[in-house]
Amino acid sequence: GAVVSQHPSRVICKSGTSVKIECRSLDFQATTMFWYRQFPKQSLMLMATSNEGSKATYEQGVEKDKFLINHASLTLSTLTVTSAHPEDSSFYICSARDSGRTTTYEQYFGPGTRLTVT
Amino acid sequence: AQRVTQPEKLLSVFKGAPVELKCNYSYSGSPELFWYVQYSRQRLQLLLRHISRESIKGFTADLNKGETSFHLKKPFAQEEDSAMYYCALSFPYGNNRLAFGKGNQVVVIP
């Protein structure tokens, strides 16, 4: 149980284009999902908190117009990297909290999406 | 601000030797603390959480509020323990976000 999937697993796009990454909770509902960015051999950096039915909450320094987040259902959040540039190349990871479990803040992680902008 | 410190980036130990990964946190309230592990080419997964007080794969971690620490320990390292280990803190406010330490890469030498 508690599986989170991401699609695509890797994507290559040209500079200036937009890329959408999906995060799905497969066997539980998630009113809250999180988007992270991970650079090689470094820790996870929280980018934003995705809230079902409302606006995402972005961390300081993360451009909300650059990284559009939509959480339209209890099992799906999307991250769209708009007008991508090579410096946006990174490993993007999502996680989700099980809405049915209120006694823990545990997050379940997706496998990540490798974005390469050429 | 909430902060998690893992001082050692790389830890090499021989198989059968004890391993201890240090984690200190700064938070004035009552956090929930976790250890997450990331094996090679796999996703991040939960190893331990302090509220469970359990031993997973031989690992234990005790929350010491006085020292604000949550060190991870295993008495006898195995080769399959080679991985990245992240200490993480979640706090009740702010959407229950997780703050991660920088991680420890553990290499168990056969």
Interface probe with A: pick from B30, B45, B98, most Cβ of A within 10 Å: B98
| Among chain A residues, CA nearest to B90 | A105
On whether any CB of chain A is under 8 Å from the CB of B49, the answer is yes
pLDDT over 70 percentage in chain A: 97
Query: pLDDT, tens digit, for every residue of A53-110?
Result: 888 999 999 999 999 999 989 999 999 999 999 999 999 999 998 888 776 677 899 9
Total count of residues recorded for chain A? 118
Report CB contact under 8 Å: A107, B51.
no
pLDDT of residue A85: 95
Q: What is the C-alpha to C-alpha distance for residues B98 and A22, in angstroms, rounded to an integer?
A: 20
Q: Bigger pLDDT: A13 or B92?
A: A13
